[in-house]
Each structure stands twice: as C-alpha cells, then as structure tokens.
Amino acid sequence: MLPRRRRGPARYLVGGHSYRSVGVSVLVVSENGAVLLVQPVGEKYPVLPGVQVEPGEQLAEAAARALRELAGLEGAPTHALGWGWAEESVKDAHYVCDGGTVASEVLYTHPAPAGVWERVDRILWAPSEELAYEVHPEAIAHLRIVLDARERGYRLPLPLLSVAEPAAAVPLAAGR
C-alpha cells in the first residue's frame, strides 16, 4: 500500500470495531500466475496496489480505485481474502481483496494511468515463484497466505464501512 495521507479524526466503523483508518490492497494474478505489484516512489520493495479508504467510500470502491489509479486496470473487487493486518494499538485496519485474474496478454499492454509515476516508481508482474526476490522478506509469508486463500477459494464478503465523525464541541452555555 502507498504511504498514508494524514487526515482528520474520522473513525471507520466495521462491525463493532472502530478504526482511525482503513486501507485496502488488491491481489491480481495473471493466467500464467504472475502477481501484480507496484513499487511506491522512494520505497525499496514493491507491494500489492493499495490505497487508504476515503471518508464516504466503501472498501470495494477503494479497491477499484487502487486498480485504476495505480495499475490502469478496471475491476470491482467484491470479496476479501482476509485481513492484511489490524493494529488495535493505533486503531488501523487493512483488507486484502481478490482482484481476479487477468489475461496474460494484458500484462504488458494495459496503459499506465495518468499521473501514476508521481506515486509509483514501477509497475510489475512478478511470477509467483519469484516473489521472494521482489517483496520485503517480512511480507512474503503474508503474500503466500493470501495467494493460498485465493487458490483455495476462501472468500469473505467485504464489510460495509460507516464513518463516525466526532461530535462538535457544544458550548457550556448552549441551550440556555
């Protein structure tokens, strides 16, 4: 996922949990088993394309935006392969969505989206057997888990998000 943009105090409600921010990444695989990765500007390792969910946006919309803005692909992911992570201490959550399979001929023919090179140094399709050479060593185990979940048909419906903005301060003299 690309670096977070700091925003105001919005809280995302997912089920009975409240998070300061929610992010989403998308796992897209080609017919020949290559995995779509993007390398954010200034980062050493590529990652799955991902974004922070904006207030008023649902996970599926954010996942589709990540594909469109970072990889130039159209798609509307509808299922999660699981949690990317959840940090209770800082109240951040991240989902990994199944972006489906693309035809092998699309790998090098789809155009890069406008403005992507301001955020991404490279877009690559890494063969699954070469992922250990491409991604951060600590991320490879997680990537293998979501690939396995996808292969086994593990799907979770994407939860609906709601945003709870903090109530504005009410002056003590209000209502008098």
CATH number at residue 133: 3.90.79.10
Does 173 fall in a domain? no
> Which residue from 45, 32, 19, 41 is spatially nearest to 143, judged by alpha carbons?
45
Q: Which of 16-30, 49-63, 91-105 has the highest mean pLDDT?
A: 49-63
Picking from 120, 110, 148, the residue whose alpha carbon sits closest to that of residue 47 is 120
Query: Both tokens of residue 43?
Result: 């980062």
Q: Pick the residue with more confidence: 48 or 3?
A: 48
Is the pLDDT at 106 greater than 60, yes or no?
A: yes
**Confidence label for 141 from pLDDT (cuts 50, 70 and 90):** confident
Least confident of 63-72, 78-87, 124-133, 142-151: 78-87
Residue 164, pLDDT score: 65
- Kindly state whether residue 110 falls inside one of the protein's structural domains: no
Residue 1 is assigned to a structural domain of this protein: no
Instruction: Please say whether the beta carbons of 34 and 82 come within 8 A.
Output: no
Q: Is 48 a member of any domain?
A: yes
Q: What is residue 4's predicted lDDT score, i.e. its pLDDT?
A: 47
Please report the pLDDT score of residue 171 as a whole number.
42
Whether 126 is covered by a domain: the verdict is yes
pTM of the predicted structure, to 2 decimals: 0.82
State the average pLDDT for the chain.
81
Task: Please report whether residue 147 resides in a domain.
Answer: yes
- When divided into structural domains, the chain yields a total of 1
Residue-wise pLDDT tens digits, 56-77: 889 999 999 999 999 888 888 9
CA distances for 40 relative to 58, 100, 166, angstroms: 23, 22, 32
pLDDT at residue 121, as a whole number:
92
Q: Is the pLDDT of residue 6 over 70?
A: no
Q: Where are the beta strands (DSSP E) in 15-153?
A: 17-19, 21-30, 34-40, 50-52, 79-87, 92-102, 120-127
Within-domain flag for 5? no
The answer to whether position 171 is within a domain reads: no
